[in-house]
């Protein structure tokens, strides 16, 4: 079979094109059902384990936001990514000692879940003369295996971050627990929506509730029904991940 690059078969590029179209149609349909405008939804491509050539292909198709989980992987791809019209976000748990490596490189850190990491982002952003946008990650299912702050402690953390000058909260992010039944997932998605709406209504100083980042390959349509405006999609766009 014809090959465009050393290791990536042409078929995979065509799959991404087809998947991209299908996901856009699904987003449009979910918006129609929910009475929402598709223009308000950010379709973020999640790029862990995905080769740069395929990511750039997705960007050529119209992807405007990509999300990487690990700092090291992002940095290894960074210089080859077509980021002129595309934002890169960190969406995985960020260790305090890695913050310096991404400040000024990423447009947003979606996974802030402690005062400690927020203070480090603030300190290094101030040093660089910039303000870094972040989302606070909420562990809506209270799973021990997951990072994120509990729903009960979210306001308290937001209050602390709001006092920092070089970090700006733009909303909330979550990964709901994996459930066999979509109706169970929906409970977590709507609990998250409720938290988002409640916090928005507080109009906290220096906190903007602009983005609700939730929904992945298996539940982005339902997440849109529950108010998400950033959906983070990996597998449905790029195919199953190969961690080899």
Ligand X SMILES: *Cc1c(COP(=O)(O)O)cnc(C)c1O
Instruction: Please give the residue ranges that form the binding site for ligand X (CB under 6 A).
Output: 46, 48, 69, 91-92, 175, 216-218, 232-236
**155 vs 236, which CB is nearer to ligand X?**
236
- CB of residue 202 to ligand X, shortest distance in Å: 26
Q: How is residue 133 written in tokens?
A: 């946008």
Residue closer to ligand X (CB basis): 208 or 235: 235
Nearest approach in angstroms of CB 197 to ligand X is 22
Beta carbon nearer to ligand X, 72 or 235 = 235
Closest-CA residue to 167 (of 210, 201, 117): 117
| Spatial distance between the Cα atoms of 167 and 71, rounded to a whole number of angstroms | 19
Provide the minimum distance between the beta carbon of 218 and ligand X in the complex, in angstroms, as a whole number.
Answer: 6
- Torsion 155-105-65-6 (CA) sign: negative
For tokens 């938290």, the residue is 195
- As measured in angstroms, the least distance from the Cβ of 168 to ligand X is 21
In sequence order, which residues have a C-beta less than 8 Å from that of residue 237 and are 6 or more positions away? 16, 19, 20, 23, 45, 46, 58, 217
- Residue closest to ligand X when measured from CB atoms: 234
CB-based contact 134:118 (threshold 8 Å)? yes
Q: Which is nearer to ligand X, 69 or 185 (CB)?
A: 69
Answer left, alpha or beta for residue 106, where phi above 0 means left and psi between -120 and 50 means alpha.
Answer: beta
Q: Please, which residue, 69 or 164, has the CB nearer to ligand X?
A: 69
Integer Cα distance of 27 and 222 in angstroms: 10
CB of 39 to ligand X, least distance (A): 22
* Min CB(213)–ligand X separation in Å: 8
- Residues 233 and 45: their CA atoms lie apart, in Å, by 5
Nearer CB in complex with ligand X: 137/164? 137
């Amino acid at each position: 079979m014809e090959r465009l690059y050393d290791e990536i078969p042409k078929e995979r590029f065509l799959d991404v094109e087809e998947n991209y179209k299908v996901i856009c149609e699904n987003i449009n349909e979910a918006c129609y059902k929910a009475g929402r405008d598709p223009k308000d939804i950010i379709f973020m491509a999640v790029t862990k384990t995905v080769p740069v050539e395929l990511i750039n292909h997705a960007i050529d198709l119209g992807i405007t936001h990509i999300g990487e989980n690990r700092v090291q992987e992002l940095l290894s791809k960074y210089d080859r990514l077509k980021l002129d019209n595309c934002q890169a976000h960190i969406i995985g748990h960020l260790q305090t000692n890695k913050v310096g490596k991404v400040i000024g490189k990423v447009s947003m850190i979606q996974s802030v879940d402690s005062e400690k990491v927020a203070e480090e982002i603030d300190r290094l952003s101030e040093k660089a003369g910039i303000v870094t946008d972040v989302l606070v990650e909420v562990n809506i299912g209270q799973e021990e295996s997951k990072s994120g702050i509990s729903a009960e402690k979210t306001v308290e953390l937001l209050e602390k971050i709001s006092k920092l000058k070089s970090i700006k909260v733009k909303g909330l992010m979550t990964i709901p627990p994996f459930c066999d039944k979509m109706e169970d997932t929906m409970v977590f998605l709507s609990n998250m929506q409720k938290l988002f709406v409640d916090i928005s209504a507080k109009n906290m100083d220096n906190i903007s509730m602009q983005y609700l980042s939730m929904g992945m390959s298996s539940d982005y349509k339902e997440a849109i029904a529950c108010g998400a405006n950033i959906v983070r999609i990996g597998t449905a766009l790029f195919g199953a991940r190969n961690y080899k």
